Structure 1
Amino acid sequence: MGYLIKVSPQDIVTSRFAISPLMVTKQALWLLSGKWEAGVWLSWIRQAREPYGRLLAERPGLGPMVSLFRERHYNADFPAPPPDGVNTSFETELSAVRATPAAQAHQEIARNLEGMPRPPEAVLDVLFSPDVVELFADALEAVWARIVSPIWPRVHAILERDVVQRAGRLATYGWAAALDDLNPRVRWRPEGVIEVAPGGQEVALEGRGLLFVPSPFVSGVSSYLEQAWPYAIGYPARGTGITHETPDGLATLIGRTRARVLLELAVPATTSQLVHLLGLSLGTVGGHLAALRGAGLVTGNRTGRGVLYHRTALGDSLVSPSTPLP
């Protein structure tokens, strides 16, 4: 469904960004179950399919939870409640899931099932059991521990990098800059409206702001504009699809590791973010950044307590020879 979201000047102040390890875990299940295409995560999905298959056998709530997944329709809210900030832990989010009353879970599941083919009786027994909340929470905890947490440092760096840049755009330049390249379905209209797909219903923020939730796995945008959630937009994080294949010519010229740093800076990043993105030590990343900066290939701008590095026009042209120099 599309929306026309009316905003006011106050909504810039009250809008915020959040990173949710629990939502990322649930979205990983969409990929692992084949509900979404793997895209740039294909190699990781192939490695994760074996532990996922074992968890399907071990955790009785996992299969029934995945059976509820459906595109462009309501999905039960309680397995992934709205995140609070950029550093909320998985354990904190999971405790909110476990606190869900069974009656609420059953109500959401019944709504989720509307219009779907009737599941097998064994699945329905789980979905409407008194223990469904604990069964779902146990399944999510196991998927996080065995499949998602090993890649979380890199995933968090991707999401944090997107948040730092996009939140800075919103605060400094306003809605048009923050929404630029968010997704082709989302655009800013000068009359003070965020259009999420044309021809949608009108919604007024009235000072409550928007919650922006980036994801490494989604390819489109999702809107949460019901009272059960803060008004929110989920969107694909920039930089998820940055190639890890270093061109031989570039590696020969500046070295393979420096080439990887330069490729990763297709989206600006801090030193600590690059450490997690590349799996290198702080000293190694700092040394390569100093060399690349000395060669005029990258530059840095201080943001708060850190420095955000990005490629110069010369760095862009070296990575993409078709990019003209100014």
Structure 2
Amino acid sequence: MLRFVADRDDLLNSRFALSPVTELENLLRKLTGRRRAALPPAWSARLTPAFQRLRAETALDAVLALQSDRYGAAFVVQPPASMAQTIDGDLAALRATPLAQARKEIADCLARSPTTDRKVLAVLNDEHAPKIMAEAMAAAWHELVAPDWPALRAVLERDVVYRGGLLSTGGWQAAFAGLHKRLAWRDGALELARLEDGTHHLEGAGMLLVPSVFVWPHIGAYTDPPWPRTLVYPARGTAALWDPGPATPPDALASLLGRSRARLLVSLSDPASTTQLATSLGMATGAVGDHLAVLRNAGLVTRARSGRSVLYRRTPLGDALTGDTP
């Protein structure tokens, strides 16, 4: 049992953040078969050829050599700073890793999962190993993740909005409750079953919570210094991303509102921004904005600012029309 002991300051300082490099690292795990839950066939067929080519043309195998079933090098996938984290920031942090820290984590990883691959060992023993691996990760990002990043980010942002709603109404206990089936809040501590044994005191720094699409259905944790205590958990809405069939409104609702506006209303089961809706539904951002204005004037949706985004959500009347009443 892994336990994170929290006090009042820890709850005040816990926060959400997004991590592009976490998505890349967990996608690589799926492509190598290290995740028991594989990619959907369509994703696998699309990404595997590029993945195999990257392994042949870059130092990506050195990155993969540091992965095992339950462990990985944190300096390669460092916890993010905020919701505005970018892949450029992630890779800059990797390049700037002190060599002593990189070598310590490389040794820990190889002790768990040794390799005899000379090409891989040459990279891992190089004094510029962090920079070499950053270049390989940059190439993998642009080929494997970047084209899908707007859709992935939309899923992650909607998850954070949903968790934020739970936090505002029920506190951190409510926000933690649905993160993962193996995670529970008991007696002032977060307990994570079947990961590793140990108790860690958050010491006022709080917990960093990072939603992920590709970590599904698993959960990950950062426990070792110098990295902040972090949980990487499966984002809500991942299943819809795997099978993005169009939101299908009832025929009667489509006849009343028009099919596009009905699809938008049905899709607002969770609050979302104009950009998130446009990405998930494959509609033009301008068209989504126009339809939302009509729905808002009709009293079916409302909007409120959340950070830098404006989020739309259904009103009780909108819930009633979609048949999604509490």
Aligned to 1:223: 221
TM-superposed CA distance for 1:162, in Å, is: 1.6
How big is the alpha-carbon RMSD for the aligned residues of Structure 1 and Structure 2? 2.9
Aligned to 1:64: 62
Between the aligned partners of 1:224 and 1:293, the Cα distance in structure 2 is 43
TM-superposed CA distance for 1:205, in Å, is: 1.8
Aligned to 1:25: 24
Between the aligned partners of 2:184 and 2:57, the Cα distance in structure 1 is 44
TM-superposed CA distance for 1:86, in Å, is: 0.9
Aligned to 1:261: 264
Which of 77, 80, 83 in structure 2 is aligned with 1:83?
Answer: 80
Between the aligned partners of 1:107 and 1:304, the Cα distance in structure 2 is 41
Is the contact made by 2:302 and 2:315 (CA closer than 8 Å) also made in structure 1? no
Is the contact made by 2:247 and 2:281 (CA closer than 8 Å) also made in structure 1? no
TM-superposed CA distance for 1:196, in Å, is: 1.6
| Structure 1 counterpart of 2:50, one-letter code | P
Residue by residue over 1:135-186, the C-alpha shift from the partner in whole angstroms, topping out at 9 and shown as x without a partner, is: 2111101011222111111111211222233234335531122113211111
Identity in percent: 40
Cα distance 1:134–1:200, how it changes in 2: closer, same or farther (>3 A)? closer
Between the aligned partners of 1:294 and 1:22, the Cα distance in structure 2 is 40
Aligned residues: 318
Which of 183, 189, 205 in structure 2 is aligned with 1:208?
Answer: 205
Structure 2: gaps of 5 or more residues = none
Alignment of 1:162-201 (within 5 A): 162-189=159-186, 191-197=187-193, 200-201=197-198
Normalising by structure 2, what TM-score? 0.84
Between the aligned partners of 2:226 and 2:37, the Cα distance in structure 1 is 29
Between the aligned partners of 1:113 and 1:55, the Cα distance in structure 2 is 22
TM-superposed CA distance for 1:213, in Å, is: 0.9
Alignment of 1:211-290 (within 5 A): 211-219=208-216, 220-242=218-240, 243-246=243-246, 250=250, 254=254, 257-258=260-261, 260-262=263-265, 264-290=267-293
Cα distance 1:20–1:274, how it changes in 2: closer, same or farther (>3 A)? same
Is the contact made by 1:19 and 1:87 (CA closer than 8 Å) also made in structure 2? yes
Between the aligned partners of 1:172 and 1:248, the Cα distance in structure 2 is 30
Between the aligned partners of 1:7 and 1:301, the Cα distance in structure 2 is 34
Normalising by structure 1, what TM-score? 0.84
Structure 1: gaps of 5 or more residues = none
Is the contact made by 2:248 and 2:263 (CA closer than 8 Å) also made in structure 1? no
Which of 301, 309, 312 in structure 2 is aligned with 1:309?
Answer: 312
| Structure 2 counterpart of 1:48, one-letter code | L
